[in-house]
Structure 1
Amino acid sequence: MGFADQRYTVNLSILFTELPLLERPAAAAAAGFSAVELWWPWVDSPVPEPSRLSALRRAIEDAGVQLTGLNFYAGQLPGPDRGALSVPGEESDRFRANVDVAADFAAALDCRALNALYGNRVDGADPAEQDALALRNLVLAARAADRIGAILLIEALNRPESPRYPLVSAPAAVGIVDKVNEATGLGNTRFLMDLYHLSRNGEDLPSVIERYAPKTGHVQIADTPGRGAPGTGTLPLEDLLGRLAKAGYGGWVGLEYKPGDGPSGESFSWLPAGPRTTDTAEQYEQ
């Protein structure tokens, strides 16, 4: 099993960014994809004007693609921030203000996965207090996700690019998953297994897959070292995706890579046309 046996969703916050936001869903559809995902699109606002939400919803619906994943507000991303929920003060307030906004937007598009980036360590803040704040906010997020029939995702990033982010290994992220599930009793918090980030951390990816596939709610890929399309680096992504399938993972694989110098639509030559379009029903009910 490998590339041709997966279900792919295009991250429109890193691919097709040469186009305005509202044109990207149609571009993904024109490239043959039926599913897309997004970071929180409005870094300037956790609670955007309803007209902005409506316009993006129409763009996704008109393109005929399924929104499979959405980040909660995470600060300046891309940029210096790596989330807001563990950051004391205004940033965590913004996260809480965004929770129901993001969940309601996801529900309107039948999106079943919400990703909550943990946030950086902050100078002068006690890490234990940041972790306590994070747990309180993640409980709110998990309950909002449960309200719309969705899962909450917790992601590990990589230390070289995110040196102040505390979740820089699969065990660290899964530890938070377990804490949130224990606190809520809902069981809807899952691990987001980003193979690019875990590779940059030097983790044994076959071992990570074997150990954590049962707790994984979503997978994202990019090649290393340049975070490009599969085949542009050294990561054996086809083999790793085959291992994930054999381990029982049958959900979406998010394409979260940089397209290179050309248009994003030219970055999919590694992928046969067939897997780009698939039945989107119940992908997260594993």
Structure 2
Amino acid sequence: MRFDVNCSILYAELPLVRRADAAKAAGFGGVEFWWPWDAMAPSDAEADAFVRSIADAGLELVSLNFHTGDMAAGDRGIVSHPARTREFRENVAACVDIAARTGCTRLNAPYGLRVPGAHGAEQDAVAIENLAFAARAAAGIGASVLVEAINSVDIPGFPVDTSDKALAVIEATGAGNVGFLADLYHLAKMGEDVADVLSDCRERIRHVQVADPPGRGAPGTGTLDFEPLFRQLAGQGYDGWVGLEYVPVDPADSATSFGWL
């Protein structure tokens, strides 16, 4: 397995442009990020500094999220928000530009919660149109768009809360470069049989992320047995990255969070 560090949850104690260096110092060859800025598109200076930090560290940018909206206010994505299509598509352009400059080939599209006053079917139609739009933009640089199922224990009301629902969204886009992000933490917390999902979705998996339920800590801190799952992924021919997207042992010093490896 090749492990990369999600530097939006680990190393969050450091300035953005120092996180790739920290991951390199810890022995990793790849990093991934949630959208790092408040704006839909960063300034030229912000984008240049971010891209340079990845290149200077000599790492691969494995995955980059599209904008999730205001997470502190409860947003969990704007893909399905009918009133925010223009913003999302502005963000797609910015995200694809950064991906092109860094060689990133996986762009994660957080689906978003239901919006008061909007019908679920309307939101789902908007989401499919936006995902298809993002897929066309990503295809231009050889990248894929990722769809992830999120458990509704942590995020009540999240509409894509099973692997089957995620696969249905992927199928509805009609785009060959839209794939499944298999987050083992969320799958387990949904009550799904993780091994069965990995087998059933093997042709659709474009990226894998891990954290240990129920507390979203490092592997070994919870209830999920990762070793057979890693062996299964390898046996199925998965040759991508596994993103470490868990809460650090010490939020003030993320470098202490990798002893399990």
Secondary structure, aligned partner of 2:61: strand
1:196 paired residue among 160, 182, 185 = 185
Alignment match, 1:65: 59
Q: 1:167 aligns with which of 156, 160, 163?
A: 160
CA contact (8 A) 1:214 1:248 kept: no
What is residue 40 of structure 1 aligned with on the other side? 35
Aligned 8 A contact 2:249 2:256 in 1: no
For the pair 1:130 / 2:119, whether they are aligned, the reply is no
Cα pair 2:6 2:32 within 8 Å, conserved = yes
For the Cα contact (< 8 Å) 2:250–2:257, is it kept in 1? no
Q: Which residue is equivalent to 1:108?
A: 101
2:220 is matched with 231
User: Which stretches in structure 1 are left out of the alignment for 5+ residues?
Assistant: 1-5, 272-286
**Deviations 1:80-139 (Å, cap 9, x if unpaired)?**
1110011121x3321111111100100100111111011100111010110111111001
Indicate whether 1:81 and 2:71 are aligned.
no
Query: How far did residue 77 of structure 1 move?
Result: 3.5
In structure 2, distance between residues paired with 1:39 and 1:18? 15
The answer to whether structure 1 residue 269 and structure 2 residue 254 are counterparts is: no
Q: Which runs of 4+ in 1 moved over 3 A?
A: none
Moved more, 101-110 or 261-270: 261-270
Shift of 1:78: 6.0
RMSD of aligned Cα (Å): 1.1
CA distance in 2, matches of 1:145, 1:167: 22
Question: 1:173-224: per-residue Cα shift (whole Å, max 9, x none)?
Answer: 01111111x2x4xx11100000001111000111111101111000000011
Give, in angstroms, the shift of residue 64 of structure 1.
1.2
Alignment deviations for residues 16-60 of structure 1 (CA, whole Å, 9 cap, x no partner): 011111110100001011100011101x20112111000111111
Question: Percent identity at matched positions?
Answer: 50
Q: Tell me, which stretches of 5 or more residues in structure 2 are unaligned?
A: none
Question: Residue 241 of structure 1: which of 222, 230, 239 is its match?
Answer: 230
Give the distance between the partners of 2:53 and 2:108, measured in 1 at CA: 21
For normalisation by structure 1, the TM-score amounts to: 0.88
Query: Number of residues paired by the alignment?
Result: 260
* Larger RCO (CA under 8 A, 6+ residues apart): 1
